[in-house]
Structure 1
Amino acid sequence: MSFLALAEARYSTKKYNADKKVPIELIDQLKAILRLSPSSINSQPWKFVFIGNEQLKSKLAAASYFNEAKINEASHLVVFSAADDIEKFEEQIQQHLPKGSIDYYHNFVKPTGSSQIKSWMKNQVYLSLGFFLSAAAEMGLDSTPMEGIQVDEYRKILGLSHHQPLFAVALGYRHSQDGNQPSLNAKSRLPEPAVIESF
């Protein structure tokens, strides 16, 4: 299937088949793909937590507002978090990045202040989301990206000390009666001239 066809078929799943689980081989592939996500200067200011354990998934679902039902039905939940301990992050890049990348951070990112540094780090995590959703679609998996979560509660439940959850993605297989799938509810997008220009 072409990437365009995948983009046309992919949608945010509202109802999952709770009886169908994603095979561990595909979960392992998604972990490897997320690890390869692009980020500015290869900064990788993130942590990804995969949850297949039903008890833990249920705790997180209860801290997810109107997303609770779909998380409980989904096979897995993946939580995307950004580094929020700047000192720890700087230690990481000092150990793993080449001098040019470290110099870029110190010359152009660090002088902007802690608030902007954290915003820059969060932006890198959002880059990984697009990578992840596309990979899942290529594997025939359905997904739902969700910012509707109680981030502090997620952090406490997962015991994250140096990372702040930003959003989560439910992962699994659509229920045949999910009314949001494109075959039942056509995708709605702005016309191309409204969002794309060419010169």
Structure 2
Amino acid sequence: MMNLLESLDWRYAVKQFDETKRISNDDLHKLKEALRLSPSSYGLQPWHFLVIENEEVKQKLRAVSWNQGQITQCSHLVVFCYKTNFNTDSVDDFIESVASIRNISKESMNDYANMMKGFVNGLSREELNEWARRQAYLALGHFLVSCAMMGIDACPMEGFLKDSYDDILSLKEKGLGTVVICPIGYRSKDDRFSTMEKVRFPLEKIFTEI
């Protein structure tokens, strides 16, 4: 197994997946658990993830993704969504979970709950949606590292029509909106990008120590 830096150097944004290879149910479950453990602001998790394997659905999504091959070649397509109706009731749901999992009273967390509700109430709907969308990107970063550590390839993508994804996947009526997508699977031996050197700026160019 590769160590952290080896895994990150190994990963790249796959341009062509091997359509004959599929992620096992066990590995897929581990990736779901990794996503579930992603960090989020206040721990509020204003997201939902769709894992798409259905070939017919993937074909429809490819048509609104600039016809990029990864959408249909991949083993699974993960769609990162944000909750469009996140509100103070969502905070209450989170507090319920904390109380249950940690075996403490909800009343003992009143100050914490009120602080989070103040944050939510202090934002406009669009500001709150933008905050929620940023949380999905935190999950994406966590997911990409998890994939790399497991030797599973991925390709984060923004090149698609979000409104069309929302329509095809019936997300609006579920209170969800598409943020970003990530096909996962295994690289094709024909993907010439897989053997190219990774290009990153040197440490001294991107870090300042104070």
From 119, 130, 137, the equivalent of 2:141 is 130
- Higher-Rg structure is 2
TM-score (norm 2): 0.87
State the alpha-carbon separation in 2 of the partners of residues 111 and 63 from structure 1.
35
Structure 1 residue 159 corresponds to structure 2 residue 157: no
One-letter amino acid of the counterpart of residue 53, structure 2: G
Structure 1 residue 23 corresponds to structure 2 residue 24: yes
Structure 1 unmatched ranges of 5 or more: none
TM-aligned CA deviation for residue 108 of structure 1: 3.1
> Cα distance 1:58–1:174, how it changes in 2: closer, same or farther (>3 A)?
same
- RMSD over aligned CA atoms reads 1.5
> Cα distance 1:22–1:120, how it changes in 2: closer, same or farther (>3 A)?
same
From 151, 171, 179, the equivalent of 2:192 is 179
> Cα distance 1:100–1:172, how it changes in 2: closer, same or farther (>3 A)?
farther
| SS of residue matched to 1:65 | coil
| SS of residue matched to 2:127 | helix
State the alpha-carbon separation in 2 of the partners of residues 66 and 179 from structure 1.
19
TM-aligned CA deviation for residue 66 of structure 1: 4.5
TM-aligned CA deviation for residue 168 of structure 1: 0.5
Which stretch of structure 1 is more off in the superposition, 22-31 or 91-100? 91-100
State the alpha-carbon separation in 2 of the partners of residues 197 and 6 from structure 1.
25
Aligned to 1:82: 82
Instruction: Please say if residues 88 and 121 of structure 2, whose CA atoms lie closer than 8 Å, have aligned partners that are also in contact.
Output: no
Structure 2 unmatched ranges of 5 or more: 96-108
Q: State how many pairs are aligned.
A: 194
TM-aligned CA deviation for residue 100 of structure 1: 4.2
> Cα distance 1:101–1:152, how it changes in 2: closer, same or farther (>3 A)?
farther
| SS of residue matched to 1:167 | strand
Task: List per-residue Cα deviations over 1:61-107 (Å, max 9, x = no partner).
Answer: 1111152x111111110000011113xx4322212225344323233
Structure 1 residue 114 corresponds to structure 2 residue 125: yes
